[in-house]
C-alpha cells in the first residue's frame, strides 16, 4: 500500500463506515452529522436518528436462533453511533434485551459506580439511541482521550 496521509486514511474509514447508509441517504446529507470536533456536534433528533439507522432496528425479543445472535446484531446497531462518541464517556456500555425490555449497563469514565438503566420499556430503537446519546455525548461528563 502506498504511503497514505492521515486525512486520506480517515476519509477512507469514514466512507467505509457510512457505506451501509448510502442507499438510504446521500453521503452529503449524512456529513452534516459527521463532525470530528465532538464538542461542537449538534444535538440529534429522533428524526435524525431514524435517518441514520435507515431500516436497522434493535432485536428486542432477546430470543436467539444461535447463542449471541441478538447481542451481536444489537451491538452493530449501537456501533453506528460510535462515530458520535457514545463510547468516549464510558469504560463500558452494554445494551441487553429481555422480553422486549432494554437494560443498559455502563460505567462512566473514571468513576467507580456501575450503573444500570432499566426504565426504557416501550421505547423504539431511535428513542433508546437518543437516551444513550443523552447519557453519554450530551451529558457533559469527562471523556477519555482518543488519538
The confidence score (pLDDT) of residue 68 equals: 81
Asked whether the beta carbons of 52 and 27 are under 8 A apart, the reply is no
Contact 128, 120 (CB under 8 A): yes
3-state secondary structure of 114: coil
Pick 95 or 1 by higher pLDDT. Answer: 95
pLDDT by residue (tens digit) across 22-52?
A: 444 444 444 455 444 444 456 888 898 999 9
C-alpha 14/C-alpha 28 separation (Å) is 12
**pLDDT tier, 64 (very low <50, low <70, confident <90, very high otherwise):** confident
Q: Measured between alpha carbons, how far is residue 100 from residues 120, 124, 139 in Å?
A: 10, 10, 26
- 69-126 confidence digits (pLDDT tens): 888 899 999 999 988 889 999 999 999 988 888 999 999 988 999 999 888 888 999 9
- Which carries the bigger pLDDT value, residue 12 or residue 60? 60
Domain ranges for the chain, please list them.
Answer: 6-135
Amino acid at each position: 500500500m502506498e504511503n497514505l496521509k492521515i486525512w486520506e486514511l480517515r476519509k477512507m474509514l469514514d466512507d467505509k463506515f457510512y457505506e451501509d447508509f448510502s442507499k438510504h441517504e446521500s453521503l452529503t446529507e449524512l456529513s452534516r452529522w459527521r463532525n470530528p470536533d465532538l464538542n461542537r456536534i449538534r444535538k440529534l433528533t429522533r428524526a435524525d436518528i431514524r435517518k441514520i439507522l435507515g431500516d436497522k432496528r434493535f432485536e428486542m425479543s432477546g430470543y436467539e436462533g444461535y447463542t449471541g445472535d441478538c447481542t451481536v446484531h444489537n451491538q452493530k446497531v449501537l456501533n453506528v453511533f460510535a462515530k458520535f462518541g457514545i463510547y468516549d464517556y464510558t469504560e463500558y456500555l452494554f445494551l441487553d434485551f429481555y422480553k422486549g425490555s432494554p437494560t443498559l449497563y455502563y460505567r462512566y469514565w473514571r468513576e467507580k459506580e456501575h450503573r444500570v438503566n432499566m426504565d426504557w420499556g416501550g421505547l423504539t430503537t431511535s428513542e433508546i439511541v437518543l437516551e444513550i446519546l443523552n447519557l453519554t455525548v450530551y451529558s457533559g461528563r469527562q471523556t477519555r482521550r482518543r488519538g
